[in-house]
């Protein structure tokens, strides 16, 4: 059996620290959370690879570096309520849960909602992370505003609902672009003003919208 603790340690050193991830809380969270519990059994050996890994339903768990970069950009300190759009395996939500007070993670594929919940429980990370079956392009107004929003699927433009549900001050990371040419943007709201900058270029699965929850 693979030595997952060793693979995890190496991932943090070689994929995160050496590429400039500096937020100690992000590094500590990712050094601790057992990523192998968030991938399907037949992908377990690939859990710590430097790339996205299939999780079924045509979806992927993001590359570790991308999770770290996105989490770092949010500058979480521990008191925040965070919205994640695209819970997938639940791994990214687990990382955010280790960095913030509370995470609401939305997912459109019902099977993945269940799986993400199970994965979070197995990893002992379920206490402050709630996975909800919802179309994340509409956000989740019931629990808004959110101090931080992390979007794990690409939209052609920033959905207005997400911007409206971002607290002031608040930070959002979101891949923007159609097709495979996307940029990861950091959007900051402060005193009623919105500023944006590009963090990196990226390649995420598309954010579904308008299709309703029953169409997969
Ligand atoms: N953060 C995930 C990776 C997500 S992949 C992880 O850590 O594993 C992107 C996910 O977004 C997929 O699971 C996909 O089903 C979901 N998704 C796509 N469109 C969505 C939408 N409109 N609302 C909620 N989830 C969506």
Number of separate domains in the chain: 1
Answer yes or no: is 147 within a domain. Answer: yes
Measured distance CA(113)–CA(63) in Å, rounded: 20
Answer yes or no: is 207 within a domain. Answer: no
Average pLDDT estimate for 155-182: 96
Number of helices and strands (H, E) in the chain?
6, 9
Asked if the bond preceding 67 is cis, omega within 30° of 0, the reply is: no
Q: How many CB atoms lie within 10 A of CB 53?
A: 22
Cut 0.85: pTM above it: yes
pLDDT of residue 180: 83
Answer yes or no: is 185 within a domain. Answer: yes
Q: Name the 3-class secondary structure at 204.
A: coil
What rounded mean pLDDT belongs to the chain?
A: 95
β strands within the chain, DSSP E: 53-56, 59-61, 81-85, 102-107, 129-133, 146-151, 166-176, 182-190, 193-202
pLDDT of residue 101: 98
Q: Which two tokens stand for residue 104?
A: 């609401």
CATH number at residue 15: 3.40.50.150
Band (pLDDT 50/70/90 cuts) for residue 178 is confident
Q: Which atom of ligand 1 is nearest to the CA of 89?
A: 8
Answer yes or no: is 130 within a domain. Answer: yes
pLDDT of residue 179: 85
Residue range 94-134, pLDDT digits in tens: 999 999 999 999 999 999 999 999 999 999 999 999 999 99
Answer yes or no: is 156 within a domain. Answer: yes
Residue range 26-66, pLDDT digits in tens: 999 999 999 999 999 999 999 999 999 999 999 999 999 99
Q: Which residues contact 203 (CB under 8 A, 6 or more apart)?
A: 180, 182
* Conformation bin of residue 75: beta by default, left when phi > 0, alpha when psi is -120 to 50: left
| Choice among 62, 89, 137, 150 that is catalytic | 62
Band (pLDDT 50/70/90 cuts) for residue 201 is very high
Answer yes or no: is 208 within a domain. Answer: no
Residue range 54-64, pLDDT digits in tens: 999 999 999 99
Q: How many CB atoms lie within 10 A of CB 46?
A: 15
Query: Ligand 1 pocket by C-beta < 6 Å: which residues?
Result: 55, 59-62, 85-86, 88-89, 91-92, 106-109, 112, 135-137, 152-153, 205, 207-209
Q: Is 18 a catalytic residue?
A: no
Answer yes or no: is 81 within a domain. Answer: yes
What is the domain range of residue 150?
A: 4-202
Q: Which atom of ligand 1 is nearest to the CA of 205?
A: 9
């Amino acid at each position: 059996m693979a030595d997952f603790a060793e693979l995890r340690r190496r991932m943090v050193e070689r994929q995160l620290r050496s590429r400039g991830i500096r937020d100690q809380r992000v590094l500590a969270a990712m050094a601790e959370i057992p990523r192998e519990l968030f991938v399907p059994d037949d992908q377990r050996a690939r859990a710590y690879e430097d790339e996205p890994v299939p999780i079924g339903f045509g979806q992927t768990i993001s590359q570790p570096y991308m999770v770290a970069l996105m989490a770092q950009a949010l500058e979480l300190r521990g008191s925040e309520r965070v919205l994640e759009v695209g819970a997938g395996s639940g791994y990214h939500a687990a990382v955010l849960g280790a960095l913030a007070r509370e995470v609401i993670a939305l997912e459109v594929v019902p099977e993945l909602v269940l799986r993400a919940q199970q994965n979070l429980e197995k990893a002992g990370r379920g206490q402050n992370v709630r996975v909800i079956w919802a179309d994340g392009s509409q956000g989740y107004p019931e629990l808004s505003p959110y101090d931080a929003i992390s979007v794990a699927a690409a939209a052609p433009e920033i959905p207005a609902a997400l911007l409206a549900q971002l607290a002031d001050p608040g930070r959002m990371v979101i891949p923007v672009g159609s097709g495979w040419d996307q940029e990861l943007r950091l959007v900051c709201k402060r005193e009623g003003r919105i500023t944006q900058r590009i963090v990196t270029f990226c390649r995420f699965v598309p954010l579904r919208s308008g299709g309703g929850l029953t169409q997969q």
